Amino acid sequence: MSNKVNDEKIYIFDKPRNVSRLLLGFYIICAGLFVADFVVHRHLLHPWEGFPGFYAIYGFIACVMLVVIAKEMRKVLMRKEDYYDVKEENYDMDE
């Protein structure tokens, strides 16, 4: 159903400039959120939250860890797409 065509139209993220603008805006927001911890008076439920930048640092580290561990898991878990198909052919043992 899908058809690959060469359409000449330039879309918004085809221009590298738009991508870098988007990323720049994103970095500015991140920096602002980090600084906000020191400015805004917060009502804390838990002492760990009081550590400045707790959520920001935790979120960043959590995601990096997630990806690194998942990549390592790939070495153990990843199989070819037809992994289950091949053997399932001799699934039936009625010889």
Partner 1 sequence: MIWTSSLPPFIPFFIAAFLVLVTRGYLRNVILLATPVLGGLHLWLDVQPFVPMVASDALITAKELSYQFTIFNYQLEFMRVDKLSLLFGYLFHIASLISIIYALHVRDRTQQVASLLYAGSALGAVFAGDLISLFIFWEGLALSSVFLIWARRTEQAIKTGTRYLIFQVMSGVLLLAGALMYYHQTGSTEFNFIGIESTAGWLILMAFGIKSAFPFLHTWLSEGYPEATPTGTVFLSAFTTKVAVYALARGYPGTDLLVYIGAAMTCFPIFYAVIENDLRRVLAYSMINQVGFMVCGIGIGTALALNGAVAHAFNDVIFKGLLFMSMGAVLYRVGNINGSDLGGLYKSMPKTAMLCIVGAASISAFPLFSGFVSKSMVMAAMLQEGHNYLWLMLLFASAGVFHHAGIKIPYFAFFHHDSGIRVKEAPTNMLIAMTISAVLCIFIGTQPQYLYALLPWKVEYWPYDMTHVLAQLQILFFSALAFVWLNKQGLYPPELRSVNIDVEWTYRKLLPATARASYNVSQAFNRAVTGAVQRGWQGFQSVFQASRLSQYHLASSWPTGSMVLWIGVILGGYLLMDVCF
User: In whole angstroms, what is the distance from residue 31 CA to residue 53 CA?
Assistant: 11
- Establish if 87 lies at the interface with partner 1 (CB under 8 A): yes
- Establish if 58 lies at the interface with partner 1 (CB under 8 A): yes
- Establish if 17 lies at the interface with partner 1 (CB under 8 A): no
User: In whole angstroms, what is the distance from residue 69 CA to residue 67 CA?
Assistant: 6
Contact 5, 20 (CB under 8 A): no
User: In whole angstroms, what is the distance from residue 36 CA to residue 7 CA?
Assistant: 45
- Establish if 86 lies at the interface with partner 1 (CB under 8 A): no
Binding site for partner 1 (CB under 8 A): 1-7, 9, 11, 13-14, 23, 26-27, 29-30, 33-34, 36-37, 40, 42-46, 48-49, 53, 55-64, 66-71, 73-74, 77-81, 83-85, 87-88, 90-91, 93
